[in-house]
Structure 1
Amino acid sequence: MKLTVLVDNNTFIDEYLIGEPGVSYYIECDELKILFDVGYSDVFIKNAQLLSIDLTSIDKIVFSHGHNDHTWGLNHLIQYYDRTIKKIKQPIDIIAHPAALMPKYFEAKPIGMSHRQDEKEYFFKIVSTIEPLKLSEHMTFLGQVPRINKFEAQEPVGHTLGVNGELTDDYVLDDSALVIETKQGLIIITGCSHAGICNIIEYAKKVTGVSQINSVIGGFHLMNADNKLLDETGKYLKSLSAETLYPCHCTDLTAKIHLSRYVDIKEVGVGLSVDFPVR
């Protein structure tokens, strides 16, 4: 299994790639090529070209949740495909929680998915699920993550349009993750962890039946977090004895410094490539 960072807030010196406040990872596993989120703009396409990654050959797209910094790149991918793909063999599956497709707002500003329906249906097929979904022998999309602890995921992020047509507080129930089973333990890949990074890890263990954590990479949703949340998260992560932890995107510098008191964390930037043997 190989993961390459196409979009992150951070960039590495001398790499000459482009960063933006978003997430996009290119994952190769079990002979599948997967895009996990697509960032905010066309940056992930530009970086993929610089890294010699062919986005016309991907098999699936997985959305961690429906916020703009993870999904708005889809319009740019549609335009890119329209220019480069003359004929598609079959639509590419977009895997997402059904609530990820609903309109979302923050202070009246649209922050949910944005796409042209007709073009989306030509290139892609939506596969929405609340339940965990096995994508391959070793990969599983977690679906809706239970909120089991009392220190994470306590506040809404703006509003969402419910099935009844009314705006309600958005607790981002669509926030999910991808888990990959390897011989050294689980690799957990997150977008923003609105569900709570500890909740996500616990659910990944429950779904797979594997208790050992090899690595966690992605946003930990620790922006302007108070010390209580950082301490609880740090203690939990320390208890995992994970091989590597890669907090990024929506994890600010203060949180990374605080977590480093408990665990060894690795730096993430656009172009980072990590390999994990699955067998």
Structure 2
Amino acid sequence: MKATVLVDNNTIIDRYFLGEPGLSVLVEVDGLRVLLDCGYSGVFIENARRMNIDLLHLDWLVLSHGHLDHTWGLVDLIRLYTEAGINGIDLSRPRLLAHPEALVTRLANKIPEIGSLIGQDKLARHFDMAPSREPQWLSERLVWLGEIPRKFDFEYVGPTERLLVSAEGETVPDELVDDGALACVTDQGLVVISGCSHSGVCNIVEHAREVTGQERVVDVLGGFHLLNAPEARLQATADYLGALNLESLHACHCTDLAARICLARTCPVRETGSGLVLEYPTNQ
């Protein structure tokens, strides 16, 4: 399995890629090419070009959740596909997998939209829509975890100022039930790839173990949403992840410096950013 970070808040040192407050990761396994999230803009496309990565032939587009820093790049991806079609360039039609609530309107304070700029109806013109609350196996080894059960009390954040507009047109508190992740069964154990971990990175990892039946976790890559997190939550998260005896931990995107320092006391935290390429054996 190969995972390429197309965009992150940071960039790999001494490599000439772009960063932005967003995340996009290309996962390749079992002959499939799966794009997890599209970042905030077209930066992930520019970085893919610099790495000579073809985004016109994807099998799956997976949205970890509906926030702007993971979905607004959809506009640029559709532009890329549209221009390819106009110019007669061969391209595929990916399937789009996300929680059913990932594409609803979201509000924050006085900001009228922090969710996807494009609704499901228009996206269906470009992708084969495959919404799901339940886990979905994309290949023999790669699974979308679906809606994440909230098991650990220390990861519960509580109500925020964020709201969403439900399918019935009601404005309700946004509990971010659409937040999900991918997990891949490699020869050495599980690799978990999250977007923001609003549902809690420990909850995500625990659910991945239950869905796959795999106890061993070798790496967790993605945003952990540990921004100005209370010390008690940081320590509980570090204790849980440290007990997994990971081979590496690639905390990025929405994980601040204080959180990484805390995690590094118990986990093998590694540098992460735009341009990072990770490979895990999947030969057995």
Please say whether Structure 1 and Structure 2 have the same fold, judged by a TM-score greater than 0.5: yes
Within the alignment, does 1:105 sit opposite 2:107 as a pair?
Answer: yes
Q: Offset at 1:116?
A: 6.4
8 A contact 1:2–1:27 mirrored in 2: yes
Counterpart selection for 1:228 from 232, 238, 241: 232
Q: Offset at 1:88?
A: 6.7
Aligned-partner Cα distance in 2 for 1:145–1:117: 22
What TM-score do the two structures reach when normalised by structure 2?
A: 0.95
Q: Offset at 1:89?
A: 6.9
Q: How does 1:185-264 map to 2 (within 5 A)?
A: 185-264=189-268
Counterpart selection for 2:136 from 103, 112, 133: 133
SS across alignment from 1:33: strand
Aligned-partner Cα distance in 2 for 1:7–1:90: 22
Within the alignment, does 1:38 sit opposite 2:6 as a pair?
Answer: no
CA 1:125–1:108 in 2, change beyond 3 Å: closer, same or farther? farther
In structure 1, runs of 5+ residues without a counterpart are: none
Aligned-partner Cα distance in 2 for 1:2–1:30: 10
Aligned-partner Cα distance in 2 for 1:117–1:236: 37
Counterpart selection for 1:151 from 130, 145, 154: 154
Q: What's the CA shift string for 1:78-116, capped at 9, x where partnerless?
A: 111111133777631111000101111111311101126
8 A contact 1:88–1:123 mirrored in 2: no
Q: Offset at 1:177?
A: 0.3
CA 1:226–1:93 in 2, change beyond 3 Å: closer, same or farther? same
Report the equivalent of 1:62. Answer: 62
Q: How does 1:110-121 map to 2 (within 5 A)?
A: 110-115=113-118, 120-121=123-124
Report the equivalent of 2:6. Answer: 6
Report the equivalent of 2:145. Answer: 142
Report the equivalent of 1:91. Answer: 93
SS across alignment from 1:207: helix
Q: Offset at 1:164?
A: 2.6
Aligned-partner Cα distance in 1 for 2:92–2:278: 30
Aligned-partner Cα distance in 1 for 2:80–2:4: 20
CA 1:66–1:103 in 2, change beyond 3 Å: closer, same or farther? same
Aligned-partner Cα distance in 2 for 1:94–1:117: 10
Aligned-partner Cα distance in 1 for 2:135–2:100: 13
SS across alignment from 1:123: coil
Q: Offset at 1:126?
A: 1.4
For 1:199, the aligned partner's letter is N
8 A contact 2:56–2:91 mirrored in 1: no
CA 1:256–1:89 in 2, change beyond 3 Å: closer, same or farther? closer
Q: What's the CA shift string for 1:191-228, capped at 9, x where partnerless?
A: 00000000000000000111000110000110000100
Aligned-partner Cα distance in 1 for 2:127–2:237: 37
SS across alignment from 1:49: helix
Aligned-partner Cα distance in 1 for 2:90–2:147: 31
Percentage identity across aligned positions?
Answer: 45
Q: Offset at 1:71?
A: 0.5
For 1:162, the aligned partner's letter is S
Report the equivalent of 1:17. Answer: 17
Q: Offset at 1:121?
A: 2.4
Q: State which drifts further: 118-127 or 201-210.
A: 118-127
8 A contact 1:160–1:170 mirrored in 2: yes
Over the aligned positions, Cα root-mean-square deviation in angstroms equals 1.5
Within the alignment, does 1:179 sit opposite 2:202 as a pair?
Answer: no
CA 1:13–1:241 in 2, change beyond 3 Å: closer, same or farther? closer
SS across alignment from 1:201: helix
8 A contact 2:84–2:90 mirrored in 1: no
For 1:21, the aligned partner's letter is P
CA 1:138–1:144 in 2, change beyond 3 Å: closer, same or farther? same
What TM-score do the two structures reach when normalised by structure 1?
A: 0.96
Q: Offset at 1:57?
A: 1.1
8 A contact 1:186–1:210 mirrored in 2: yes
Aligned-partner Cα distance in 1 for 2:92–2:255: 37
